Structure 1
Amino acid sequence: MDETTGGADGGACGEVPYRTGDVLRMECPFTSAAVTAVGRYHVAVRWPWWEVDTEARGIEWNGDIALPTPADHGWTDSYFRTVPPEEELRAGDRCLVGIAPTVVHVLAVDHFDPPLETGWLPRPAAYIEFLLQGQSFDPELEEQGHTVDPAGGEPVRFALLFRPYAFLENGDDLVDHDGRAWRFDGPWDWHPYDGGPADAPAWPLHLLHRDGDPAPDEIAAVAAATATGSHADVAARWAELTHASPLPTRN
């Protein structure tokens, strides 16, 4: 498994080594923090990894992050947890906050130039947008998913568990076993050039174009990777890991 670590000491700075459709294991070491306020639905924790951005324009952050308690409907969707559990904490307590190993799948990778002003430092230059294991993308929802800065102050670690169609690059043109030409824009985002049904290509695949004429070894790699198996096999492996439906993802 490929692994990267965020935070100030290294990791996924600059180019983010993940893409739409990737299945990742995400975790963050549990770190001591102070509990500053407690309510029925949220617990406020002095965030141990960020600093206040005093130069942010029109944004003031007090250094706290509100984490949901089990009484909040969003608790099952949250991924940071505390030890002891949120519902046992009181203002003035010390706790540990972090992320237990969690499987997620990537919806998109967003880049910001200049980095976003959020009220805290470091300012994010990129976000990984993701869904937790068991959550499927719903194109009818305006807002869905979570974001994390892969190079932010939080020492979040990622390990690549599975990349569907790892042997292809976005924008590749291919022809399938049935002679149909396709453009690959992501594992669940295939576009046929004949205007026919946009389901998925029939394996094996032949690489026609990759930012120009592909090299012989690139053609051979695609042919070898699709000599056996099928798109359905890729989707089944992805669903096995994510417990989700491989629907078209956001770009």
Structure 2
Amino acid sequence: MMIRISAEPADARVVGTRPGRIVVDWPWNRSDPGSPHPWPGTVEFPVDPTAYAWRNTPWRVEPEPETLEVGGSCMIGIPPFVARVRSVIDYDPAFEYGILPRPELVVGAVDVAYEGDDEAGFTIYLGTEEPIEVESLT
């Protein structure tokens, strides 16, 4: 199945850096206090668009991540692109992995530009506060 994925950008704050990565406060979702795996409220992104990890997230950071510093502002979003669905899991009850709201539908997909690479791909959690738009193309 082919899908088009997108998400309108939202403001975020850079809270840390690691070699080749930035860490941002995630503008959506909340930590689940009842979870044995509490989420810290942050997400890491590769700085270099040629880095392999770039293939494993649909999210993009603006401005260019290598220009950002701790305390700086950025935008997080998903520019529209086409992906191939590799898996769909419907959880009942909702999946517990440290965030609220707990997702009920989890989709594994890969950007069609990288679908020949078995290691490329990402997971999107539907039913959370992340404003992901998914359109079926097939």
TM-score, normalised to structure 1's length? Answer: 0.51
1:122 to 89, 101, 110: 101
Aligned to 1:158: 134
1:59 to 37, 55, 62: 37
Cα distance change of structure 1 residues 75 and 43 upon mapping to structure 2, 3 Å threshold:
same
In 2, the alpha carbon distance for the partners of 1:157 and 1:53 equals 24
- Count of residues paired in the alignment: 137
In 2, the alpha carbon distance for the partners of 1:43 and 1:113 equals 34
Contact 1:38 1:89 in 2 (8 A): no
In 2, the alpha carbon distance for the partners of 1:85 and 1:158 equals 25
Structure 2: tracts of 5 or more residues without a match: none
Aligned to 2:76: 97
- Aligned pairs for 1:71-150 (under 5 A) are 72-136=51-115, 145-150=121-126
Cα distance change of structure 1 residues 62 and 84 upon mapping to structure 2, 3 Å threshold:
same
Runs of 4+ in 1 over 6 A off after TM superposition: none
Structure 1: tracts of 5 or more residues without a match: 1-21, 164-251
In 1, the alpha carbon distance for the partners of 2:51 and 2:120 equals 17
CA shift for structure 1 position 92 = 0.2
Corresponding residue SS for 1:124: coil
CA shift for structure 1 position 74 = 1.1
CA shift for structure 1 position 98 = 0.6
- Aligned pairs for 1:200-215 (under 5 A) are none
In 2, the alpha carbon distance for the partners of 1:87 and 1:79 equals 18
Higher relative strand content: 2
Which amino acid is 1:24 matched to?
A: I
Q: Sequence identity of aligned pairs in percent?
A: 28
Which amino acid is 1:30 matched to?
A: P
Corresponding residue SS for 2:114: coil
Aligned to 1:248: none
Structure of higher RCO (CA pairs closer than 8 Å, 6+ residues apart): 2
Q: Which moved more, 1:104-113 or 1:28-37?
A: 104-113
2:7 to 28, 47, 50: 28
TM-score, normalised to structure 2's length? Answer: 0.89
In 1, the alpha carbon distance for the partners of 2:40 and 2:102 equals 16
Tell me which structure has the larger Cα radius of gyration. Answer: 1
Corresponding residue SS for 1:134: helix
Contact 1:42 1:72 in 2 (8 A): no
